[in-house]
Amino acid sequence: MPANLRDRAAPMSLAAPQQTVQVHAGPHAYGAGAKVLHWLVAGLVAAQFAVAWTMPDIHRGTPQGGLIDLHLSLGAAILLLVALRAALRLGRPGPAAHGGNVWLRRAARATHLALYALLLALPLLGWANASSRGWTVSLFGLLPLPPLMPAHSPLGPLLGDLHGLAATLLLIGVGLHVTAVAYHQVLLKDRLLQRMLPQPR
């Protein structure tokens, strides 16, 4: 091969691996902030369900304290982090979808929106129900939050029922989300989960 052709070919061969890495880590991966918030919320939601299943049943006149306080604080933390992540998502949309069936992408988008809505509505309903009971909601005792409705409001029981319904819907939504990720990883083998994991250096 003449020298001038070898000189032209060398930069192209060096540039190809760079382009592959950029496509994998750029438009198809979430940012570091989104990843941290995602896994923080996932951990808090898991802890919240564990506390909800082990804390005492709540009836009229149930006193506040113990696991109930922890449940309220976890809900406040989830609300704060999900609101922050939603704000970041509005300012910086998620990575572009890469391939796959159009109906799968639409279903994934609908599931994500439903999860956002439930993760915002669920703690708000619990907070309002707690306010109607005269309880004080705080962020782990460090930041007291104002009541969302007057104590002894007649809407309290209804909001409590809606809170329980929203929790069931969230559990179903999380199950669908995890199943979809497993489907992509095991059957489609498109490494979708890597978009939410730390990128290799």
pLDDT band at 26 (very low <50, low <70, confident <90, very high): very low
Indicate whether 1 belongs to any domain.
no
pLDDT band at 188 (very low <50, low <70, confident <90, very high): confident
43: left (phi over 0), alpha (psi -120 to 50) or beta: alpha
pLDDT value for 97: 55
Domain at 26, CATH number: 1.20.950
Please check whether residue 130 is in contact with residue 72, taking contact to mean a CB–CB distance below 8 angstroms: yes
Indicate whether 118 belongs to any domain.
yes
Task: With a cut of 70, say whether residue 126 has pLDDT above it.
Answer: yes
- Please enumerate, as own/partner, the contacts of 55-59 that have beta carbons within 8 Å and a separation of 24 or more: 58/160
Q: Dihedral, CA atoms, 80, 83, 84, 86, nearest 10 degrees?
A: 160
pLDDT value for 96: 55
**How many structural domains compose the chain?**
1
Indicate whether 26 belongs to any domain.
yes
Tell me how far apart the alpha carbons of residues 172 and 168 are, in angstroms, rounded to a whole number: 6
pLDDT value for 94: 61
pLDDT digits (tens, 9 = 90+) for 30-48: 778 888 899 999 999 999 9
Can you give the length of the chain in residues?
Answer: 201
Location of structure tokens 């930069």: 11
Structure tokens of 16?
């190809």
Tell me how far apart the alpha carbons of residues 44 and 74 are, in angstroms, rounded to a whole number: 7
Indicate whether 92 belongs to any domain.
yes
More confident residue, 122 or 101: 122
pLDDT band at 132 (very low <50, low <70, confident <90, very high): very high
**pTM for the complete prediction?**
0.77
Indicate whether 113 belongs to any domain.
yes
Task: With a cut of 90, say whether residue 168 has pLDDT above it.
Answer: yes
Tell me how far apart the alpha carbons of residues 22 and 2 are, in angstroms, rounded to a whole number: 32
Indicate whether 9 belongs to any domain.
no
In this structure, of 68-82, 105-119, 182-196, the range with the lowest mean pLDDT score is: 182-196
pLDDT value for 81: 96
Indicate whether 76 belongs to any domain.
yes
Task: With a cut of 80, say whether residue 27 has pLDDT above it.
Answer: no
pLDDT digits (tens, 9 = 90+) for 85-105: 988 877 666 665 555 567 777
- Total Cβ atoms within 10 A of residue 120: 16
pLDDT band at 18 (very low <50, low <70, confident <90, very high): very low
Indicate whether 2 belongs to any domain.
no
H or E element, residue 42:
helix 32-54
Structure tokens of 27?
């438009």
The boundaries of the domain holding residue 139 are 17-196
pLDDT value for 84: 93
